[in-house]
Each structure stands twice: as C-alpha cells, then as structure tokens.
C-alpha cells in the first residue's frame, strides 16, 4: 500500500495526474460519420466558391484564409499554451517583408518565399520567446505589444531612407512586387482563383498540422504547461523548450500568413505606425469570437470577422469613423451572447438538439413497450 507524505501529498497526486494525462494514448474510436459528412460538404463548398464569385469576393475570401492562419498561430500560443501575445502582427510583418524583399531585390518566385518567411518569423519568435520565459500574463502582453508597435519603424529602416539596407524597393517602406510575379501557374485558373486555392491549400495543411500536434504527446505537454506548470515540470516536461518552441511555431504561422498577404494584397506596408498593432488585435479577436483552444475556432472567427468588417465598411461608406464603432458593437454582442465563441455555441446547440432527439427516441420506445 502506498503512502503520501503530508507536505508533498497534493503535489504528488497532481504530478501523478499530469503524468497519466501526458502518457495517455490518443483515443481512436469509431468513424465520426456526422463530422465526416459535414467536412465533405464544407470541402465541396470551399472548392466551388472561387468559381461562383468574382475577383473582389475571392480576394476577400483569401484575406479571411490568411487571417485564419495567423489566428491559428496565436491560438497555439495563447489558447493552448497560455502565453498572452498582442504582438503577432510583427511576426506577420516579418513574413510579409521577407517575401517582399526576396521578390523585389533577389527576383525570387513567390512560392519558395513562403518557406523562408516561415523560417525567418520562427527565428524571430525564438528571439522573443527566450526573454518571454521570465515574464507572463500582462507583462508578456506588454512586451509583445511593444514589438508590434516597434516593427513598422524597424521595417522602414530596412527598406527606406539613406541608410536603408535595401534601396529602390518601392519607397517609404512599401514593397510592391510586380503583378506578373503572382500569375497563375495553372492555365485554366484566373489569378484570383489561384491565389485563393494556394491560400486554402496551405491553410488546410497548417490546420491539420495543428490538429495532429495537439492530439500528440507534445500537444498534451503544451496544454499541461498552461494548466499545471509545476506538475508538468515534475514529470519531466521541459517547460522552457515547450514555451519557446510554441512561440516559434506560432510566429511561423503568422509569417506564412504575412507572406500570403503579399500575394493577395500585392504590398508589404510599414507606412502606418499602428498597422501591425491593429493586425495583432484582429488575430486575437478572431481567436476569441471563434473559440480559443479549438482547432476550427480561429478559422470560423477569421471568416466572420473579415466579412463583418467588409459589411460594416459597405454599410457606412463615406463615414469611415463610424465603421470601427459598428464593428466593435457587433463583436461585443457576439462575445456577450456566445462567451465560449461561435464554435462553442454551435457545439452547445448540437448537444442540445442531440439530447432532445435522444430523449424523444427513448420516450417513444417506452410508449411502444
């Protein structure tokens, strides 16, 4: 019979619980037919959309996709790992300017720059992640906020001015690769359709990667670091490695999104000193309204946020000051009505319907007997 020391008993129990959680194999189970059916329908719709809509709507769809990728990166860091960041716009900008510089200065094709943008952003994430080990919560948020505000200044030094590293890159920290460099490599697709499918394919790949990561032992270590840091360290989790690694992976996602933004928007911009802070807030809002610490939540939040923002701009055309106010009111209503996010609300609705359906079936069975 085992005994527990009075001073370390609770810690031992928590450590044992954390060890069991980390060692737990991924549940197999049967085939989720409902989810499979819904997934096939959504896949068919996603493949059909760019042929139904025109270039303007396809561009909006592509913007929603790259926003979803950046939001998923932030979700891995903040939602699953518990490290608060409101500076992911800086990593987004690193990816955008990496792609812009490689294309304008070194004549690279666009597609290979995505990989380089991800690696450079991940490296910056590691550089930021190590100092972040000493702080947490609001202090970490302030550090990342400073990074987002500082990035446009640094970018302008790189691509503009007499002391710039790269000269002749488009003026005032504005990199504009030639339109022809983004031409579709598939002859039967229009450029806007090719951009949409490239964004969609990369997004699917990264979301599958995030799902597989979070259902693995490493994913459970990431969550355990958020929920039971002391217990996780007790059972052998390298807290520093997990935190820095998650920071790097999260930054890489944002870097990929920034690279895709150059393809979609045709510009890497650092003329607005608060642009990347605004982007950081948009990533966070997409995570919150979609559902934090979920895989599909950031995608759902990004789509809703993109089209809601576009709709408010359209409704109040010519009154730009009112557009952010209306958008803010709409977001407050969503968060107030669905505090667990849109995905959490959908799950609650499905559970309620399935419970009532099961209750009716059992009642009908009793009546027949």
- For the stretch 178-198, pLDDT in tens is 666 777 777 788 999 999 999
Residue in this structure with the two tokens 């503009």, named with its chain if needed: 160
In a domain, 12, yes or no: no
Residue with the bigger pLDDT between 308 and 299: it is 299
In a domain, 36, yes or no: no
Residue in this structure with the two tokens 């979920």, named with its chain if needed: 294
The closest of 285, 327, 308, 264 to 71, measured between CA atoms, is 285
In a domain, 323, yes or no: yes
Q: Are 156 and 276 in contact (CB under 8 A)?
A: no
In a domain, 24, yes or no: no
Question: Domain limits at 224?
Answer: 49-182+189-337
Residue 10 binned pLDDT confidence (cut-offs 50, 70, 90): very low
Cα–Cα dist 27/24, whole Å: 9
In a domain, 367, yes or no: no
Task: Give long-range contacts, CB 8 A cutoff, 24+ apart: 113-118.
Answer: 113/259, 114/202, 114/256, 114/259, 114/260, 117/255, 117/256, 117/258, 117/259, 118/252, 118/253, 118/255, 118/256, 118/259
Residue with the bigger pLDDT between 117 and 363: it is 117
Q: Could you tell me which residues are beta bridge partners of residue 175?
A: 268
**What's the number of domains the chain is made of?**
1
Q: What sign results for the dihedral spanned by CA atoms 361, 365, 366, 368?
A: positive
Q: What is the pLDDT of residues 20-43, one digit of tens each?
A: 556 555 444 445 777 788 889 999
Both tokens of 209, joined, read 């990667």
Q: What is the pLDDT of residue 186?
A: 73
3-state secondary structure 51-62: HHCCHHHHHHHH
DSSP string, 151-217: HHHHHHHHHSSTT-SS-SSSSTTEE---GGGG--SSTTS-HHHHHHHHHHHHHHHHHHHHHHHHTSH
Question: Over the chain, what is the mean pLDDT?
Answer: 83
Residue 275 binned pLDDT confidence (cut-offs 50, 70, 90): confident
In a domain, 117, yes or no: yes
Cα–Cα dist 156/161, whole Å: 8
Mean pLDDT of 42-52: 95
Q: What is the pLDDT of residue 199?
A: 97
The helix/strand/coil state of 269 is strand
Q: What sign results for the dihedral spanned by CA atoms 307, 312, 317, 318?
A: negative
Strand (E) or helix (H) holding 150: helix 138-159
Residue 3 binned pLDDT confidence (cut-offs 50, 70, 90): very low
* pLDDT at 168 exceeding the cut of 50: no
- Supply the CATH number for residue 80's domain: 1.10.3470
Residue in this structure with the two tokens 């939602």, named with its chain if needed: 79
Q: What is the pLDDT of residues 62-87, one digit of tens each?
A: 999 999 999 999 999 999 999 999 99
């Amino acid at each position: 019979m085992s005994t527990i020391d009075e001073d370390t008993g609770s810690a031992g129990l928590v450590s044992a619980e954390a060890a069991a959680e980390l060692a737990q194999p991924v549940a197999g189970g049967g085939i989720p037919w409902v989810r499979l059916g819904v997934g096939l329908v959504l896949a068919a719709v996603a493949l059909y959309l760019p042929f139904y809509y025109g270039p303007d709507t396809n561009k909006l769809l592509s913007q929603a996709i790259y926003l979803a990728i950046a939001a998923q990166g932030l979700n891995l860091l903040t939602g699953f790992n518990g490290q608060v960041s409101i500076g992911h716009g800086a990593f987004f900008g690193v990816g955008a300017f990496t792609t812009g510089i490689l294309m304008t200065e070194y004549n690279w094709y666009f597609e290979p720059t995505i990989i380089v943008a991800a690696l450079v952003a991940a490296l910056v994430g590691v550089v930021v992640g190590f100092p972040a080990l000493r702080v947490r919560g609001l202090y970490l948020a302030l550090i990342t906020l400073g990074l987002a505000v500082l990035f446009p200044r640094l970018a302008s030094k790189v691509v503009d001015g007499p002391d710039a590293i790269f000269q002749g890159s488009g003026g005032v920290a504005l990199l504009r690769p030639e339109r022809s460099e983004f031409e579709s490599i598939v002859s039967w697709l229009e450029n806007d359709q090719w951009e949409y499918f490239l964004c969609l394919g990369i997004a699917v790949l990264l979301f599958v990667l995030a799902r597989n990561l979070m259902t693995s032992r490493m994913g459970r270590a990431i969550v355990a670091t958020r929920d039971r840091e002391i217990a996780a360290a007790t059972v052998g989790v390298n807290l520093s490695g997990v935190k820095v690694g998650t920071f790097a992976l999260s930054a890489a996602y944002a870097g990929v999104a920034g690279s895709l933004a150059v393809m979609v928007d045709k510009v890497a911009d650092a003329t607005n000193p608060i642009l990347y802070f605004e982007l950081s807030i948009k990533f966070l809002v997409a995570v919150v309204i979609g559902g934090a610490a979920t895989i599909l939540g950031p995608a759902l939040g990004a789509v809703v946020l993109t089209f809601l923002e576009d709709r408010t701009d359209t409704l109040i055309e010519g009154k730009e000051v009112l557009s952010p106010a209306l958008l803010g009111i709409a977001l407050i209503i969503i968060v107030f009505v669905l505090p667990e996010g849109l995905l959490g609300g959908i799950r609650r609705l499905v559970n309620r319907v399935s419970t009532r359906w099961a209750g009716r079936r059992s009642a009908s069975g009793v009546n027949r007997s």
